A and B are shown apart, each in its own frame.
Chain A
Amino acid sequence: KNQVEQSPQSLIILEGKNCTLQCNYTVSPFSNLRWYKQDTGRGPVSLTIMTFSENTKSNGRYTATLDADTKQSSLHITASQLSDSASYICVVSPGGDMRFGAGTRLTVKP
Chain B
Amino acid sequence: DGGITQSPKYLFRKEGQNVTLSCEQNLNHDAMYWYRQDPGQGLRLIYYSQIVNDFQKGDIAEGYSVSREKKESFPLTVTSAQKNPTAFYLCASSSGLAGGPYEQYFGPGTRLTVT
A residues touching B (Cβ–Cβ < 8 Å)?
2, 4, 31-32, 34, 41-46, 49, 51, 89, 93-103
A44–B108 alpha-carbon span in the complex (Å) = 8
**By DSSP majority rule, is chain A's interface helix, strand, loop, or mixed?**
loop
Interface size on B, residues (CB 8 A): 23
Interface residues of B in 78-115 (CB under 8 A from A): 88, 90, 92, 97-101, 103-109, 111
Nearest-Cβ distance from residue B35 to partner chain A, whole angstroms? 8
The 7 residue pairs across chains A and B that have the minimum distance between CB atoms: A43-B106, A100-B42, A93-B99, A100-B43, A102-B42, A97-B99, A44-B106
Q: Which of A31, A44, A46 contacts B99 (CB 8 A)?
A: A31
A96–B103 alpha-carbon span in the complex (Å) = 14
With contacts A43-B108, A93-B99 known, what are 10 further pairs, Cβ within 8 A? A41-B109, A43-B90, A43-B107, A45-B106, A46-B104, A46-B105, A94-B99, A95-B99, A97-B45, A97-B98
Do A42 and B109 touch across chains, with their CB atoms under 8 A apart?
yes
Do B109 and A103 touch across chains, with their CB atoms under 8 A apart?
no
Chain A to chain B contacts (Cβ below 8 Å), 26 pairs: A2-B42, A4-B42, A41-B88, A41-B109, A41-B111, A42-B109, A43-B4, A43-B90, A43-B106, A44-B43, A44-B106, A46-B105, A49-B101, A89-B43, A93-B98, A93-B99, A94-B99, A95-B100, A96-B97, A96-B98, A96-B99, A97-B99, A98-B99, A99-B42, A101-B42, A103-B42
A100–B90 alpha-carbon span in the complex (Å) = 13
Nearest-Cβ distance from residue A61 to partner chain B, whole angstroms? 20
Q: Which of B4, B42, B44, B101 contacts A31 (CB 8 A)?
A: B101
